[in-house]
Amino acid sequence: MKHGAIVVSGLAEGIDAAAHTATVDAGGRTVAVIGTPLSETFPTKHRDLQQLLMRQHLVVSQFPEGHPTTRKNFPLRNRTMALVSDASVIVEASDGSGSLSQGWEALRLGRPLFLMASILEQPGLSWPKTMLDYGAMVLNKPEDLLEQLPEPVDDPLAIFG
């Protein structure tokens, strides 16, 4: 990927797995932040994708070996994604979606949060207007996101002088 952005996603079904796969296919770099210990995969159908990312990209977890996998792990994982990302994008999300926890965390941290314009066209969603009121921005096309990201650092140690 010519712009050097690193895609961070949660290896969940749907848009997460699609983001990782599209990034790999395009020759880019991706990080999976998972809600299980590293030796586990959820959903299990993503085992091959997780193994590929562990070999060729990066998979991280805040959950130690033996930690039980419960529903509360995934909002915590979403918080971690907001912490390690320069910006977050919500592509699709229902009112109960875990993506909302990442969105609120990004706003709390003062990091850019983008909502795909298509979300605003979905009737019955209560959260988009509230997030916009708190500083989220509308993303009309994915390419616009690149303008909002910081420039890649060639030598990360150079920032320490």
pLDDT tens column, 10-57: 999 988 999 999 999 999 999 999 999 999 999 999 999 999 999 999
- Pick from 50, 66, 83: which residue ends a domain? 83
Spell out the residues 6+ positions from residue 89 whose beta carbon is closer than 8 angstroms to its own: 113, 114, 115, 116, 139, 142, 145
Does residue 20 share a domain with residue 76? yes
- State residue 147's pLDDT score: 79
Number of domains the chain contains? 2
Model pTM greater than 0.95?
no
At residue 154, does pLDDT exceed 90? no
Does residue 74 share a domain with residue 4? yes
Does residue 94 share a domain with residue 55? no
Does residue 30 share a domain with residue 71? yes
At residue 155, does pLDDT exceed 80? no
Q: Dump pLDDT digits (tens) for 99-149.
A: 899 999 999 999 999 999 999 988 889 899 999 999 999 999 877 887 777
- State residue 1's pLDDT score: 47
Does residue 45 share a domain with residue 24? yes
Q: Which structural domain range is residue 91 located in?
A: 86-148
The answer to whether position 6 is within a domain reads: yes
CA 141 to chain centre: 17
Does residue 104 share a domain with residue 76? no
Residue 3: count other Cβ atoms within 10 Å of its Cβ: 11
The answer to whether position 139 is within a domain reads: yes
